[in-house]
């Protein structure tokens, strides 16, 4: 202990009351110290000036301070004392009470049945739960800070004692893994697994599996692209057999009698104005003249084994 600090304390801090625990607050602005007579001092970390002080008492007697721990969120801190009670305080209220104050703890946490002595206490990551480890048995006690209810007691291996407690700052959930799928089995202990021969074979994942109404998987069907199915619209009702060489249609392309060879679309636009005037002059002559007859062309098609009209 730095004996130079005793001058600023005076009679409020006798020389024989040595601190047995100390802790910074969450932001490192103040130092909280506790001694064996239950006295807690709050010092400014920069100037070492005493900002507040109070005593922890159980009835009319004082009790020693074992540890002081702060939450990572908020201004709450817990004091573990020798009377087996964990007290929860608000740092803002302690500073407001000043020196020789008498603040009331927000919660008092203890094991009323076993009267357990606590080895270590800490907050959860969000500051909503308090975890304490028993000094006599391998067990963890978890309370809810806001209402002080005991949430869970976790028992460890018998015969082993707790050394320290660390609370996760990420999550407060306790994961319990059980059977996930129907093909899986829940194990109570580690079992050596024997791999099947075809367990990790590569399967075609892109293959689409179709099922019928009964739920059965249908096989791939072969598509016939060579067989020509008859179209009943092209057959007469009195025909018994299908003739594979019968004539169904004649592909004939239209022919233009007098195509305009060498026509240029650019020249046609230039001559459009002159042509329009000529059309008006010859319009009367076309109305009086007789229409020109279209010439027809005939084709001879030989159809073997075709019926002839008698």
Closest CA to 114 of 62, 79, 61, 150: 150
The pLDDT of residue 221: 78
Is the per-residue pLDDT at 184 higher than 80?
no
Token duo for residue 72:
């990572």
Report the SS3 class of residue 6.
helix
Place of tokens 């020789």: 100
- Kindly report, residue by residue over 185-211, the tens digit of the pLDDT: 777 777 887 877 777 766 655 555 555
Lowest mean pLDDT among 183-187, 231-235, 276-280: 276-280
Lowest mean pLDDT among 25-34, 88-97, 132-141, 250-259: 250-259
Closest CA to 101 of 71, 145, 66, 57: 57
Q: What percent of the chain has pLDDT over 90?
A: 14
């Amino acid at each position: 202990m730095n004996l130079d600090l005793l001058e600023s304390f005076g009679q409020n801090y006798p020389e024989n009351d040595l601190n047995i625990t100390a802790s910074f607050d969450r932001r490192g602005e103040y130092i909280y110290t506790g001694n064996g007579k239950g006295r807690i001092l709050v010092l400014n970390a920069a100037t070492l000036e005493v900002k507040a002080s109070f005593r922890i008492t159980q009835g009319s007697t004082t009790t020693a301070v074992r540890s002081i721990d702060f939450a990572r969120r908020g201004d709450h801190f817990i004091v573990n004392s020798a009377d087996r009670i964990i007290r929860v305080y608000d740092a803002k209220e302690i500073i407001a009470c000043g020196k020789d104050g008498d603040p009331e703890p927000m919660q008092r946490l203890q094991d009323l049945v076993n009267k357990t002595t606590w080895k270590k206490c800490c907050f959860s990551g969000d500051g909503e739960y308090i975890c304490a480890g028993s000094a006599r048995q391998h067990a963890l006690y978890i309370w809810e800070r806001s209402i002080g209810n005991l949430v869970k007691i976790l028992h460890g291996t018998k015969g082993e004692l707790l050394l320290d407690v660390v609370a996760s700052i990420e999550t407060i959930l306790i994961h319990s893994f059980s059977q996930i799928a129907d093909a899986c089995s829940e194990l109570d202990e580690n079992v050596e697994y024997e791999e099947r021969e075809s367990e990790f074979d590569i399967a075609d994942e892109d293959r689409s599996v179709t099922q019928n109404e009964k739920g059965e998987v249908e096989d791939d069907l072969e598509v016939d692209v060579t067989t020509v199915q008859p179209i009943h619209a092209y057959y007469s009702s009195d025909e018994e057999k299908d003739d594979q060489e019968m004539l169904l249609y004649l592909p004939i392309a239209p022919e233009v009698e007098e195509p305009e060879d060498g026509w240029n679309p650019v020249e046609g636009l230039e001559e459009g104005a002159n042509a329009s005037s000529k059309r008006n002059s010859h319009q009367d002559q076309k109305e009086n003249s007789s229409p020109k007859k279209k010439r027809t062309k005939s084709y001879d098609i030989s159809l073997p084994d075709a019926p002839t009209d008698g």
